[in-house]
Chains A and B, each alone.
Chain A
Amino acid sequence: MSENANQLSCEAFQAQLPDLIGSGVNLANHPHLRDCELCRALLADLETIAQAARQLFPIVEPPDELWEQIESKIRNEEAPRLPTNGA
Chain B
Amino acid sequence: MPQSRFPARPFGSASPALDAASSPSPPVSPPQPASAAALASPSEDNVLARAQAGDHQAFAQLYSLHKRRIYSLCLRMVGNVAEAEDLTQEAFLQLHRKIATFRGDSAFSTWLHRLAINVVLMQLRRKGLSLISLDEAMEPAVEERPGRSFGAPDPSLSGAIDRLALQRAIDGLPAGYRLIFVLHDIEGYEHNEIAAMLECSIGNSKSQLHKARLKLREALRMHPQEEGQR
Contact = CB atoms under 8 A, between A and B. Distances in A.
A74 B7 CA distance: 39
Interface in B131-174: 146-147, 149-151, 154-157, 159, 161, 163, 166-167, 170
3 closest Cβ pairs, A-B complex: A22-B206, A18-B210, A41-B156
B4 A25 contact: yes
Given A10-B151, A18-B206, A66-B89, A53 B185 contact: yes
Kindly state the interface size class of chain A when it binds its partner.
35 or more
A51 B186 CA distance: 9
Nearest to A40: B156
A52 B165 CA distance: 11
B67 A67 contact: yes
B65 interface: no
A1 interface: no
A24 B6 contact: yes
B72 A58 contact: yes
Given A18-B209, A38-B154, A54-B7, 20 more contacts: A18-B203, A18-B206, A22-B202, A24-B6, A26-B3, A28-B2, A29-B1, A38-B151, A42-B156, A48-B159, A49-B157, A49-B166, A50-B213, A57-B76, A59-B68, A59-B72, A60-B72, A66-B71, A70-B89, A77-B96
Nearest to B159: A48
A38 B7 CA distance: 22
Interface in B193-230: 202-203, 205-207, 209-211, 213-214, 216-217, 220
